[in-house]
Every structure is written in structure tokens, then in C-alpha cells.
């Protein structure tokens, strides 16, 4: 997705930047503010806000520092606001909210803490579906239409996770329950998102130990229409 800068993706820290002609939206604050600033060439005056999916450190550790810059921090649940422990704006789920020139609608996903994905609209790129750290959608039958870009977690591949002896069984179980495999990701793309208008799909939050980036990409390309540009971050 041309309007997106991936500052970092994965358990070491997540931050994504949506740049448009009329403002910037930060998604996640899992990396230090200095790193985020550098990715924007220190031009942070037009950041309309920072969206946070959930309270885990790799997504929210630096939310307080972001807020200290005067950037409003948005979440999809009061649970998340309480867990992060800073003053956040909680977005409603029944109607899209304006954040600068962006319109944002949260939806719940299944994780071991309250976690939200977001539909983000801006005239420059139209509609982005963003979801990370999810065992699946909370509402399995949820259907998304009119999506133009997808950024979705692809945390592990079943074979790699099963063969990973460094992970105790309990951790493997947690990963399977609360994170998305390549197969799970493809299932959401096939069953919950209308791909008719989708132009790009980006896989995010890939585990270095439990995925092969190139293999994920080629399997994704095989699973979706050829007109869609696929990428990994």
C-alpha cells in the first residue's frame, strides 16, 4: 500500500504510518517516538491521531510518549484505555468517527486482551481493513464490503509452529488461540472480506521463528485474485 510506511511489525514493536496529502495517521505505538519521528523525517505536526489496537507492549508501550507530543490516542474499548493507563479517546463501534481527514470504525477481534481491528477511510486511498493480534474475528460471520486495502496479521504457519521446539506446549496453544496463522488469514480473506475492490494485501506481525516470509507471500498470491498486489512487512 503506497500510503503506508511500516516503521516496525512483529513482537519487537509495531508502528504503521498512513501518509496522505492532508494529514498523517499513526497506527500503534509499540516503538519509541524517536524511531517513529525518524520515519516521518521529523515532520510530526500533521499527525491527526494514533490508533491503538490493544494494550500489549508491542502495540502500546509508547502510547504515553505519543500523547505527550500532543497527539490524541484512540482506542476501540474502555478496557484498552484502562489497561494502557493514559487518557485515550474511545471510538464508538456503531458509526465511523472523524480523526482529521480520516474516518475510523473499530471492530472487535479475538485476543487474550480486548483488541480491535479498524476500518480506516481516507479519500487518498479509500478503505483500509487493519487487523492484528487475533485468533479470529469476534463475530465469525462479520462481512466487510468496499475494502480497497488489507493489512492483516500472518503470525505463524502451522508446520513451523508445530516443529518449533523452543516453544513450550502452553505457548504454542496460546499462539494458536490468539494469533492468526497463514491459513486463518486466508480464511478471513476468503470468507469475511469481499475481495472485489481490494487492490493490495499486506501481511503484518509475522513471527521470525514461525513463518517463512517468502513462502507466506507466494501462498497468499496463490490464494487471492491475480489483480491484487501482495506484500509482507
Query: Smallest distance, Å, CB 31 to Zn ion?
Result: 12
**Identity of the residue, 56 or 62, whose beta carbon is nearer to Zn ion in the bound complex:** 56
**Identity of the residue, 111 or 122, whose beta carbon is nearer to Zn ion in the bound complex:** 111
Q: Of 193, 183, 173, give the one whose Cα is nearest residue 223.
A: 183
Q: Are the beta carbons of 112 and 89 closer than 8 angstroms?
A: no
**Identity of the residue, 173 or 194, whose beta carbon is nearer to Zn ion in the bound complex:** 173
Q: How many residues appear in the chain?
A: 233
Contacting Zn ion within 95-154 (CB under 5 A): 133
Counting Cβ atoms within 10 Å, is residue 16 exposed (0-12), middle (13-18) or buried (19+)? buried
28 contacts Zn ion (rule: CB under 5 A): no
Helix crossing, 182-191 with 213-223: angle to 10°?
20
Query: Smallest distance, Å, CB 196 to Zn ion?
Result: 30
Interface segment toward Zn ion; rule CB under 5 A; list 57-65, 156-164, 182-190, 216-224: 57-65
**Identity of the residue, 58 or 175, whose beta carbon is nearer to Zn ion in the bound complex:** 58
**Identity of the residue, 18 or 175, whose beta carbon is nearer to Zn ion in the bound complex:** 175
58 contacts Zn ion (rule: CB under 5 A): yes
**Identity of the residue, 14 or 24, whose beta carbon is nearer to Zn ion in the bound complex:** 14
Instruction: Count how many Cα atoms sit within 13 Å of the Cα of residue 119 in the half-sphere of its side chain.
Output: 19
Q: Return phi, psi of residue 8, to 5°.
A: -170, 145
Q: Are the beta carbons of 218 and 182 closer than 8 angstroms?
A: no
Q: Of 112, 101, 117, give the one whose Cα is nearest residue 16.
A: 117
**Residue 175, all three cell numbers:** 499462539
Interface segment toward Zn ion; rule CB under 5 A; list 52-60, 82-90, 122-130, 148-156: 52-60
Query: Smallest distance, Å, CB 105 to Zn ion?
Result: 21
**Identity of the residue, 120 or 133, whose beta carbon is nearer to Zn ion in the bound complex:** 133
| CA–CA gap between residue 197 and residue 68 (Å, rounded) | 38
Query: Smallest distance, Å, CB 230 to Zn ion?
Result: 21
Q: Which residue has the cell 471492530?
A: 107
In the chain, how many H helices and how many E strands? 8, 14
Query: Smallest distance, Å, CB 107 to Zn ion?
Result: 16
Interface segment toward Zn ion; rule CB under 5 A; list 56-64, 70-78, 80-88, 168-176: 56-64
Query: Smallest distance, Å, CB 162 to Zn ion?
Result: 21
CA 6 to each of CA 41, 134, 165, 185: distance values in angstroms, whole numbers, following the listed order: 14, 19, 30, 19
Single residue of 19, 56, 122, 149 touching Zn ion by CB under 5 A: 56
Chain contacts with Zn ion (rule: CB under 5 A): 56, 58, 133
Amino acid at each position: 500500500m503506497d500510503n503506508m510506511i511500516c516503521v516496525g511489525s512483529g513482537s519487537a514493536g509495531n508502528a504503521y504510518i498512513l501518509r496522505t496529502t492532508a494529514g498523517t495517521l499513526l497506527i500503534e505505538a509499540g516503538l519509541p517516538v524517536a524511531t517513529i519521528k525518524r520515519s516521518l523525517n521529523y515532520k510530526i505536526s500533521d499527525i491527526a491521531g494514533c490508533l491503538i489496537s490493544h494494550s500489549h507492549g508491542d502495540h502500546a508501550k509508547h502510547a504515553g510518549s505519543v500523547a505527550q507530543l500532543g497527539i490524541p490516542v484512540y482506542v476501540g474499548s474502555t478496557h484498552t484505555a484502562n489497561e494502557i493507563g493514559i487518557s485515550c479517546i474511545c471510538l464508538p463501534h456503531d458509526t465511523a468517527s472523524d480523526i482529521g481527514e480520516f474516518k475510523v470504525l473499530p471492530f472487535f477481534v479475538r485476543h487474550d486482551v480486548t483488541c480491535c481491528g479498524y476500518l480506516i477511510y481516507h479519500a487518498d486511498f479509500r478503505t483500509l481493513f487493519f487487523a492484528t493480534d487475533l485468533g479470529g474475528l469476534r463475530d465469525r460471520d462479520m462481512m466487510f464490503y468496499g475494502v480497497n486495502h488489507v493489512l492483516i496479521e500472518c503470525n505463524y504457519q502451522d508446520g513451523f509452529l508445530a516443529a518449533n521446539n523452543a516453544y513450550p506446549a502452553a505457548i504454542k496453544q496460546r499462539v494458536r488461540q490468539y494469533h492468526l496463522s497463514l491459513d486463518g488469514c486466508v480464511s478471513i480473506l476468503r470468507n469475511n472480506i469481499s475481495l472485489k475492490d481490494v487492490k493490495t494485501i499486506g501481511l503484518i506481525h509475522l513471527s521470525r521463528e514461525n513463518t517463512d516470509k517468502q513462502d507466506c507471500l507466494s501462498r497468499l498470491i496463490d490464494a487471492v485474485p491475480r489483480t491484487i498486489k501482495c506484500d509482507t512487512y
